[in-house]
Amino acid sequence: MKKAGSSKGKHTSSNSDAGDAGTGLIDPLALGQILMDVSERAQPLLGEFFEKYQFDIRELAKDPMNIRPAYAEFFGQLWSNPQKLFDMQAKLWQDWFTLWHDSATRFLGGKSEDIYKPDKGDRRFKDPAWEQSAVFDFIKQSYLLTSRWMQDVVRQTEGLDDATRTKVDFYTRQFINALAPSNFLMTNPEVLQETLESRGENLLRGLENLLADLRRGHGELKISTTDYEAFRLGENIAITPGKVIYQNDLMQLLQFEATTGAVHKRPLLIIPPWINKYYILDLRPDNSFIRWLADQGHTVFIISWVNPNRKLAQKRFEDYMEEGILEALRQIEKATGEPDCNVIGYCLGGTLLAVTLAWLAANKQADKIASATFLAALVDFSEAGELKMFMDDSQLELMDREMAEKGFLSGDHIKKAFSLLRANDLIWSFVVNNYLMGKEPFPFDLLYWNDDSTNMPAAMHSFYMRKCYGENLLPVPGRVTMMGTPIDMRKVATPAYFLSTREDHIAPWHSTYATTQMFKGPCIFTLAASGHVAGVINPPAAEKYCHWTSGKTPADPEDWLSHAQQQDGSWWPHWNEWVKNFAGGPDVPARKPGGGKLKPVEDAPGSYVKMKAED
């Protein structure tokens, strides 16, 4: 992000001159003068920017998310029951009257307790002024009252099908989040205080940050979420030592150096999702899953997927199986002499692993994989969370047009969808920090990884969207064919360990649990606290969160949870005890990358992981 130029200096004025945002008492004349000064100084910056970038206002009228039909259906059902609508309106006014009465008592010096409080973990209202100031406390509570009422109306309106209700609820929350008082200068006490103290320098810095982000997106806003110059792959993230021992068009195969004198006989292969880059499993030494696995005596291999361009447009889902997992297994056998592996699949990598297991079983090659571990991975997509909203017919047609033009689905397209799922954390918090407070985003390795987006080949992504999210065909025997072989999950007898996370908004745990009922082999299911990333990347030394375990997998996931035992801390040691059962025999001397049979191509983390989506 570009640092402020003419607005680097910071001027201060005493609160007695301009008011005190902490109490809600602002001198309007002093504030108005500051804003006029900011406006005058901002004009050259804006003029320079708009000379370079042109905007078509007609783009604002488009409805790429196909929201209008959903809201038309919602309002039709809402107005079809006037009595219920009247009752809901009456409740709103009653709640408003209660809030007015309570706030008036406080304005007059009386004591009162908040009627409407932010949810636990809602950081938008962390500044003390939201409680200490009667003005800002009223603004906060009125927002919470109205927003919760709006959501209740959506959820209580009868006659909507599940898909329409989910879409209306989701986009109503987006609207509510966007209009939070914390997102605006005049209703955010922290921003007001900064504006008064710096005499508007924060707003000028914020404008320069905004324009820098627009330039970075070539006219489209790409909000900076971290300091991108603070990280270097292979230098301060993704630094576990290893070698690239093989590569093809789709992937590089990395083998990491052993950290123990002896290692388990059977090697371990990790299949990360190609919707993101593998180094989420190797951010820093203290939270690297890869490093921890090596410390436990595993010979660790991982696939690093290419960031595809137009040349790979016709790569299919089955190509990822053949040129990815199956080719990796062949190369690992060359490097280690071992005919099989323990395999871990994370997210989309786990979906591919399940398909590969079914293919191997059908082709009498099931012994290639001794055990399979699934980390937050979906096979049954019937209840695939809010991501499924982006997979309706209109969305698929939009993606098809983009992929037909480019040969791939842009990584930015996917990143935007994921950001909307956690808009307050991944969008609005940075709007406030970067553009209103005028601060630079904090260097954060997880957010650097999150923004390091990857493209999706057109043929593969079209199959994945339609056959998995759209039609949910993987659980149906024979409805999906890979390399001429019908896929039947019921044939999978490989021992399997399933790890899901309780707050996962991408792969809801009830849906991931369904795979335990498909395979005929022994299955064990573990549920970790937290979400899709934090619940998985949870090193034991951190002593965070908890997990639930049970030796049985009944048909009902809630039945499983009711009998599961809660355990403190990370799930990693529990999994490691399980996978030791498939170590393949007595330990062997530590192996070197390539095993003397495969010549290393380059040092880890390799070149594929460094490819940017715009390449």
Active site residue ranges: 347
Give me the torsion for CA of 592, 328, 455, 424, rounded to 10°.
Answer: -70
In three state form, how does the secondary structure of 446-475 look? HHHHHHCCCCEEHHHHHHHHHHHHHCCCCC
| C-alpha separations of 431 from 111, 207, 550 in Å | 34, 11, 43
Long-range contacts of the stretch 598-601 (C-beta < 8 A, 24+): 598/245, 598/246, 598/331, 598/334, 598/335, 599/245, 600/243, 600/244, 600/245, 601/243, 601/244, 601/245, 601/246, 601/247, 601/252
| C-alpha separations of 543 from 44, 91, 444, 536, 577 in Å | 52, 45, 20, 13, 18
Question: H or E element: which one contains 527?
Answer: strand 523-528
- Contact (Cβ atoms closer than 8 angstroms) between residue 575 and residue 581: no
Taking the C-alpha atoms of residue 442 and residue 226, their distance in angstroms, rounded to an integer, is 5
Residue 372 carries which side chain, given as an amino acid letter? A
DSSP string computed for 352-364: HHHHHHHHHHHTT
| C-alpha separations of 327 from 247, 251, 323, 332, 510 in Å | 10, 10, 5, 9, 32
